Amino acid sequence: MARILITSALPYINGIKHLGNLVGSQLPADLYARYCRARGHEVMFICATDEHGTPAELAAAKADRPVAEYCAEMHETQAALARGFGLSFDHFGRSSSMRNQALTQHLAVKLYDAGLIEEVREKQVYSPGDGRFLPDRYIEGTCPNCGYERARGDQCEECTKQLDPTDLINPRSAISGATDLEVRETRHLYLRQSKLRDRLDRWIDSQKGWPVLTTSIAKKWLHDGDGLQDRGITRDLDWGVPVQFDGAPWSGMEGKVFYVWFDAPIEYIAATAEWADALGHDEAAWRRWWRTDEGADDVRYVQFMGKDNVPFHTLSFPATLMGSAEPWKLVDYIKSFNYLNYDGGQFSTSQGRGVFMDQALEILPADYWRWWLLSHAPENSDSEFTWENFQTSVNKDLADVLGNFVSRVTKFCRSKFGEVVPEGGEWGARETQLIEDLTQGLDSYQTVMDGMMVRRSAQDLRALWVLGNEYLQEAAPWASFKTAPETAAMQIRLALNLIRLYAIISQPFIPDASARMMQALGCDDWAWPGAAGDALQALPPGHAFTVPDVLFAKITDEQREAWQAQFSGQRGG
RNA sequence: GGGCCUGUAGCUCAAUUGGUUAGAGCAGAGCGCUCAUAACGCUUUGGUUGGGGGUUCGAGUCCCUCCGGGCCUACCA
């Protein structure tokens, strides 16, 4: 038994997430957390809403709500959707918590003490009309290179030229359209990451078996151009962790907050403290997961995230922890994902394109989505959601291969033996063969699940389901029942036990269906199978069960067409 | 512009890291079964591995080049 700490990238607060966000971090993290728990490991699975930053303020303004209220509400919305998808967080925290504020400020002081924080004076664009400094991307204007009229202050999307906001012709606020922009001087704290470059480089090199996607992005940032750049970790905003506080080693930082990317990863730690608080545990309860001097040295820490998050998790956050000179637990493995596209284009939160978490659950149970998303997870390259593919995958895999197996076994038993595990008969050669095949399949499944190979795991699981149908076809209990009823009894007893086995091993993918299978079997023994032959004797002769309702109703062509039309336009239309 | 990823059957993806005849699922064709959600099982059609060149006894895999798709490029998060 090991101790495994799992974090999923934090979903941003400014709206309901789409399926691309879900499959890129939270869902595979949940798969792994559920699997590790099922294997008997001690798991701490942490996620939270990421609540600070300009987009949160703008989203609140658009909703005409105070930002704190808006975030509190949206946090509850996202938490409810996470529950709806069966995401089994030990704690779903908030980056705006007092725990995070205290820890963020603490780490900033430690970094200052280590000589890794410096003050920088810089000029930034200020919009009097908006009453705020504008991040480069929130300034629009005409591109001096190509004349595109909606170029952003950081880059022109038309000609891809890198820009400085002051390069723009006729600059205006992307928020309000105000054109009375001015350049003001402001002071910010910078994290001197460049001083930690060699240490980070060695640390990355020492990691074994990280995905190429993860290491190549980190290496690029470490070695490109002048190497790792120092990074501003404060912003001129109202909503966030205050930079000026009692005990701060700097002064004159009133009205500034830490940059969201400084405090967001720290929330992984703070959320674990929130977990302890919520359950009334003491400090040691969470510190044993995060402090290598207080018990975390035997923890394996795995992070899940989309590829856009990689630089912050391979460089900024480790720099924060290393630079603090305190013994914080660093990540052991980073599992990163590409993007899921929607029907020929990208999912887009801002444009409302694609299927969002709330809509998905209104249409179909979570297991359908979990299965499709995980079995098509964008591990090696971007992948694509189409309604046709979704319909055929779900119908074939869940309804036909697994659901129908449960149905045919339980109904056959009910009609021939009643709703009780039948007695009599002995295993023969075909049963021995099945157990061999299951042993091999389980071994492979466990290996790829241990390695977090998500698609491959789904394939292996499906292959295990197929073994049941193959067995039934050859054993043909409907034929043996006529000549040797005790043989049919043995075969069906085995098949009923196979359903239990499937429920257990499928639970990380489709937890609700697994629970219904176990409930129908009247069984509460979720012990992960050791030897397949032993696991197939868990339900003894005479054990009562009930025939469950159809596990997975098929998606009809009419439904598919209706959804296709419904989601072809924009959200809310 | 620079960097990285990617291109394999009609579709979605594999291929133990250079090893022999490139494999699965879906779709198509044929056969079987009749317990089951018209489900299941077996067999089978289908590939000049984006194009071209090179290295090698041997290339889907390594190198060069061209073509296509995608991501990142540090103030969106």
| Contact call for residues A325 and A110 (beta carbons, < 8 A) | yes
As a rounded value in angstroms, the CA-to-C1' distance for A513 and B40 is: 21
Q: Give me A118's structure tokens.
A: 């410096």
Using the CA of A474, give the nucleotide whose C1' is nearest.
B41
CB atoms near residue A334 (< 10 Å): 22
Q: Is the pLDDT of residue A572 over 50?
A: no
> Which DSSP state fits A129?
T
Any atom of strand B under 7 A from CB of A166?
Answer: no
As a rounded value in angstroms, the CA-to-C1' distance for A396 and B26 is: 9
CATH class name, domain A117-191? mainly beta
As a rounded value in angstroms, the CA-to-C1' distance for A380 and B69 is: 14
Whole-prediction pTM: 0.95
| Contact call for residues A16 and A81 (beta carbons, < 8 A) | yes
CA quadruple A392, A396, A398, A399: dihedral positive or negative? positive
As a rounded value in angstroms, the CA-to-C1' distance for A392 and B44 is: 22
| pLDDT score recorded for residue A81 | 96
Cα–Cα distance, A422 to A420 (Å, whole number)? 6
| pLDDT score recorded for residue A40 | 96
State ipTM: 0.91
| pLDDT score recorded for residue A159 | 67
Any atom of strand B under 7 A from CB of A267?
Answer: no
Cα–Cα distance, A533 to A541 (Å, whole number)? 16
Which nucleotides in chain B have some atom under 7 angstroms from a protein Cβ?
1-7, 11-14, 24-27, 32-37, 39-42, 69-77
Q: Measuring CA to CA, which residue among A546, A538, A519 is closest to residue A419?
A: A546
Looking at every residue in chain A, the average pLDDT score rounds to: 91
Q: Does domain A3-114+197-223+254-337 have CATH number 3.40.50.620?
A: yes
Q: 3-state DSSP call for residue A526? A: coil
Using the CA of A384, give the nucleotide whose C1' is nearest.
B12
Which distant-in-sequence residues (6+ apart) come within 8 Å of A177 by Cβ? Answer: none
Task: Point out the least confidently predicted range of A161-170, A182-191, A519-528.
Answer: A161-170
Any atom of strand B under 7 A from CB of A383?
Answer: yes
Residues in chain A: 573
Q: Is the pLDDT of residue A573 over 50?
A: no
Q: Is the pLDDT of residue A512 over 50?
A: yes
Domain boundaries, chain A: 3-114+197-223+254-337, 117-191, 383-535
In terms of DSSP H, where are the helices of A376-510? 387-393, 404-417, 429-450, 454-475, 477-483, 485-506
CB atoms near residue A18 (< 10 Å): 24
Cα–Cα distance, A410 to A417 (Å, whole number)? 10
Q: Which of residues 307-346 of A touch strand B (CB under 7 A)?
A: 307-309, 311, 338-339, 346
What is A383-535's CATH superfamily? Isoleucyl-tRNA Synthetase; Domain 1 (1.10.730.10)
Q: Give me A115's structure tokens.
A: 């000589």
Q: Which of residues 84-143 of A touch strand B (CB under 7 A)?
A: 122, 124, 135-137
What whole-number percentage of chain A has pLDDT above 70? 98
